[in-house]
Structure 1
Amino acid sequence: MISAKLRGALLCSVLLLASACAAEPPAIGEQTPAASPQETGASGGTITTGDVTTSSNVKHVANVPRTAPFDGADDLGTDLAFQGDYAYVGNFGGFGIYDISDPAAPRIVSQVSCPAQQNDVTIYGDLLVLSIDEPRGGAECDSPDGQEWEGLRIFDVSDKASPRYVGAVQTDCGSHTHTMVPAGETLYVYVSSPGPEPDSPTCAPPHELIQVVEIPMDSPESAKIVAKPNIFPERESSEYSSGCHDITAYPEKNLAAAACFGDGVLLDISDPVAPKVVQQLTDTENFQIWHSATFNNDGTKVVFSDELGGGGQATCDRNTPGTKGANAVYDLINGKLERRGYFKIPREQQPDENCVAHNGSLIPVPGKDVMVQSWYQGGVSIWDFTDSAAPKEIGFFERGPYGGGGIAGSWSAYYYNGYIYSSDMTRGLDVLQINDPLTDPAKQVEMDDFNVQTQKSY
């Protein structure tokens, strides 16, 4: 089972007290998901074709199934990045490059076999970076299973048909996710990883929360760790695991928001090698695993998500409060974050469908705050948080329960140049389009590239 392997997203018993993993009945007055699987905040009803159900304003444009060498039981789709007419798709088996010049007919250009968990991917210039969160026998792709190495792998993808491995950086406790902070000819990468593990040769204590890797663009093979800022050392002796799960940087505003398992953190990154804590948030009542963060375009709000159960549980049901396994919307007022509201998908999922808030991105609607987000087997949700206190769903896409059993569904769902791309763990790459008066202005926004954890204004 994957849940026996993943340190971060799928091991809540390691990260927090075991009692926190159990769902509690909703308290009086708390928001809960709707009982009917057909209810949604989207107007105009729903459309069902085969095992796919969408709101009437969402169209399923294309699906590219997993193919060899990424069609095994352990070859799960993970994160996405974009550049020009290409999508870069991570997989536990390696990564693939897709030509999306025609979004209705995406085409696989190349697939690089490079096994590791979890192979989250970013793209900058001609460099592609992978996060390796699993001890391997060595840095290169053909290294056998082992206990000696984990961290970042770096590839030159100037030739899309034939990517080339150029180097790697070993990091403590590997790299569960990573975040790019460009600075001229140097690319800084923040490495997020859980830990420590006292008996692990790659993850020994103590483990600082962030590791900063410097990648010179003209000599990526010389990449190295340049800092290990321990932004709140008091956590080392706490009940929570050290490390962060995910960091989103907004370099234009010198800000980053970090989801550090037991805390949400607002950071000043005006010096990218020495991030400083502006504010630390803790909410043990509503949040179990602070998983990820998204700024709105103005940098005046942050959405933090809670991955209740670590991604392996069915938390989108009537027995789980609407404030858990959900998104919390915070307004940034006078430099401090203040919580305003929560959002959770309003469609109840089946007991065998793992479902919780996961990776998403803004839809670039000028003057509005709109987001698309994956929910594992809960599918893909498009929601509006312009009113921070009353966010609402405006569209969705989902399939029925995965017939193979186990963990499945949409790992990441991001908007890029008029379309939504969803990396489904078992079913491959989905392409969606939302046609709605609220989101239509986003079709006028053209991006040259997109890495969700490095936000740019539009």
Structure 2
Amino acid sequence: MRRPRTLARLTLATALIAGLTGLAGGASAEVPAPPETGATKSDNITHLASAPMTGPLAGGVNTDIAFAGKTAYVGNYSGFAIYDIANPAKPTLVSQVSCPGSQNDISVYDGLLFLSTDSSRSDDSCQSVAQSPTIKESWEGIKIFDVKDPRNPRYVAAVETKCGSHTHTLVPDKLKRSVYVYNSSYFPNATYPDCQPPNDRIDIVKVPLRHPEQAAVVASPVLFPDGGFPGSETGYETSGCHDITAFPAKNIAAAACMGDGVLLDISRPERPKVIDRVQDATNFSFWHGATFNGDGSKVVFMDELGGGGGAECNTEVGPNKGATAIFDIKHRKLKFRSYYKIDRHQAANENCVSHNGSLIPVKGRDIMVQAWYQGGFSVWDFTDSAHPKEIGYFDRPPREPASFGGYWSVYYYNGAIYGTESVTAFDVFKIKDRRTDSAERVKLKELNVQTQPAFWR
């Protein structure tokens, strides 16, 4: 989801989230898991468990997920939660931290947890309050926690970034002494002292693993010296990046940057270089995220038409907008092949658009699971880049009364599918299908979806 900085660009989802997070500070009652009555699904999907948001996170909005060992880390506009997933059918809450700040995008590496703050705050503490970005002393950026003991997370550092941190991506250095954090942010404004236009760059934070308190911005490379996509009636002008997915095994990354889809060379982590750029003025509104296939020979880009708050899965919008675009990577160039979008038309009050997903590691096939907000989630095969097809899904009926909701992120990890239902729970599913069963043999020690492992060479 994007968080516009100007009222003129305020989306329905942003307004709803503002209301929800405004209630989060004093909320403590448990939110019941959504009922399964009326849910439709394919026969190969089983819903295993639903862990409702509780305590300081109840009333907030669940966002992204990171994994390490048998632990899942779930971001929330009100902080983050840590779950024991040793038994995926019974996820157990280990701890949670109250630390409000949009949108709390999350990742973990070597016992450190990184949290993105993309709302202007009075300071860098977890007790901060909202404060206008027009005030020079306001703070936005990346917070770092020590989570070696998941029961007792410890806040160890913070790095301010000029336009905040909407999302971030981890790129480990070759010597494994540090990790680089590629910071994505956008929507500059001439009235913001620290976030001036044109913001055609990304910020790179270097974090020494033994001394995370020394983390600092070490580079701010400009990716769009020509200004990037100028904008159109349906597409956003490029003024920063929304999300970046790295594929370290091939020293490449895919950057989704509002009006541009970008392929980067990250062989020198502090000096990423643009290899190729693509634009889609006809069908794409907001380049939102990316996922590579298992060997880095393909990448899909998501279009977040409507900002996550619009009902974009219907006949009127059609199959090519608010969709996922599939590109083959040939000689380090992006070659468009087709669009993929769920064909289950959603109700007029259901926010639905292409959103966060991950690869399911099946050798010889390109299969991923992907969130569609109130469109549920879809498991789809893009082995034939020009003819993608769905092979599984889960979809609840519209929320009553009508409101923002649905799956923000849905990821596959070590044999199970995990999803953040935005306003209710952390959900777990199982897929049982001959086309995906072999993925259960792939066991990872850690997964940040935006730092993709090479499953096959």
TM-score by length of 1: 0.89
Aligned to 2:68: 83
Aligned to 1:68: 55
Instruction: Output one character per residue of 1:134-159: Cα deviation in whole Å (capped at 9) or x when no partner.
Output: 00011111122223000000000011
Mapped partners of 2:338, 2:7: distance in 1 = 27
Task: Give the alignment partner of residue 102 of structure 2, picking from 111, 117, 124.
Answer: 117
Correspondences of 1:12-161 after superposition (within 5 Å) = 13=9, 49-72=36-59, 75-147=60-132, 148-161=138-151
Contact 2:36 / 2:396 at 8 angstroms: preserved in 1? no
Task: Give the alignment partner of residue 452 of structure 2, picking from 451, 455, 458.
Answer: 455
Aligned letter for 1:66? M
Task: Give the alignment partner of residue 428 of structure 1, picking from 425, 448, 455.
Answer: 425
1:446 equivalenced with 2:443 (yes/no): yes
Please, what is the CA RMSD of the aligned residues? Answer: 1.8
Aligned to 1:165: 155
1:225 equivalenced with 2:229 (yes/no): no
Contact 2:198 / 2:227 at 8 angstroms: preserved in 1? no
**Residue 56 of structure 2 aligns to a residue in which SS?**
coil
Task: Give the alignment partner of residue 419 of structure 1, picking from 384, 393, 416.
Answer: 416
Aligned to 2:135: none
**Residue 227 of structure 2 aligns to a residue in which SS?**
helix
What is the CA-CA distance between 1:405 and the residue it aligns to?
Answer: 2.8
Mapped partners of 2:425, 2:363: distance in 1 = 31
Contact 1:294 / 1:304 at 8 angstroms: preserved in 2? yes
Mapped partners of 2:325, 2:37: distance in 1 = 33
Aligned to 1:191: 183
Mapped partners of 2:299, 2:353: distance in 1 = 18
Contact 2:229 / 2:260 at 8 angstroms: preserved in 1? no
Aligned to 2:30: none
Aligned to 2:405: 408
**Residue 316 of structure 2 aligns to a residue in which SS?**
coil
Mapped partners of 1:12, 1:121: distance in 2 = 28
Aligned letter for 2:41? T
Mapped partners of 1:241, 1:12: distance in 2 = 17
Mapped partners of 1:56, 1:68: distance in 2 = 35
Contact 2:202 / 2:220 at 8 angstroms: preserved in 1? yes
**Residue 4 of structure 2 aligns to a residue in which SS?**
coil
What is the CA-CA distance between 1:209 and the residue it aligns to?
Answer: 2.4
1:310 equivalenced with 2:307 (yes/no): yes
Instruction: Output one character per residue of 1:293-340: Cα deviation in whole Å (capped at 9) or x when no partner.
Output: 111111110101111111110010011121110011101112211111
Aligned letter for 1:348? H
What is the CA-CA distance between 1:13 and the residue it aligns to?
Answer: 3.8
Aligned letter for 1:191? N
Identify the structure with bigger relative contact order (alpha carbons < 8 Å, sequence gap 6+): 1
**Residue 226 of structure 2 aligns to a residue in which SS?**
helix
Aligned to 1:368: 365
Contact 1:357 / 1:374 at 8 angstroms: preserved in 2? yes
Mapped partners of 2:42, 2:8: distance in 1 = 32
What is the CA-CA distance between 1:11 and the residue it aligns to?
Answer: 8.5
Task: Give the alignment partner of residue 322 of structure 1, picking from 304, 319, 322.
Answer: 319
Contact 2:229 / 2:279 at 8 angstroms: preserved in 1? no
Gaps of 5+ in 1: 16-47
Q: 1:228 to 1:54 in 2, by over 3 A?
A: same
Q: 1:255 to 1:49 in 2, by over 3 A?
A: same
**Residue 213 of structure 2 aligns to a residue in which SS?**
helix
Aligned to 2:283: 286
Contact 1:413 / 1:422 at 8 angstroms: preserved in 2? yes
> Bigger shift: 194-203 or 259-268?
194-203
Instruction: Output one character per residue of 1:323-381: Cα deviation in whole Å (capped at 9) or x when no partner.
Output: 11001110111221111111100101000000000000000111110000000000011
Contact 2:228 / 2:259 at 8 angstroms: preserved in 1? no
Q: 1:413 to 1:12 in 2, by over 3 A?
A: farther
Mapped partners of 1:259, 1:341: distance in 2 = 17
Contact 2:353 / 2:373 at 8 angstroms: preserved in 1? yes
**Residue 206 of structure 2 aligns to a residue in which SS?**
strand
Contact 1:14 / 1:241 at 8 angstroms: preserved in 2? no
Contact 1:172 / 1:207 at 8 angstroms: preserved in 2? no
What is the CA-CA distance between 1:238 and the residue it aligns to?
Answer: 3.6
Task: Give the alignment partner of residue 386 of structure 2, picking from 378, 384, 389.
Answer: 389
TM-score by length of 2: 0.89
> Bigger shift: 347-356 or 334-343?
334-343
Percentage of pairs with the same residue: 52
What is the CA-CA distance between 1:165 and the residue it aligns to?
Answer: 0.4
Task: Give the alignment partner of residue 176 of structure 1, picking from 166, 174, 189.
Answer: 166
Q: 1:264 to 1:14 in 2, by over 3 A?
A: farther
What is the CA-CA distance between 1:200 and the residue it aligns to?
Answer: 1.8
Mapped partners of 1:144, 1:350: distance in 2 = 36
Q: 1:11 to 1:428 in 2, by over 3 A?
A: farther
What is the CA-CA distance between 1:236 and the residue it aligns to?
Answer: 7.0
Aligned letter for 1:68? G
What is the CA-CA distance between 1:203 and the residue it aligns to?
Answer: 1.8
Q: 1:315 to 1:270 in 2, by over 3 A?
A: same
Contact 1:173 / 1:202 at 8 angstroms: preserved in 2? yes
Contact 1:174 / 1:202 at 8 angstroms: preserved in 2? no
Mapped partners of 1:354, 1:237: distance in 2 = 26
Aligned letter for 1:180? L
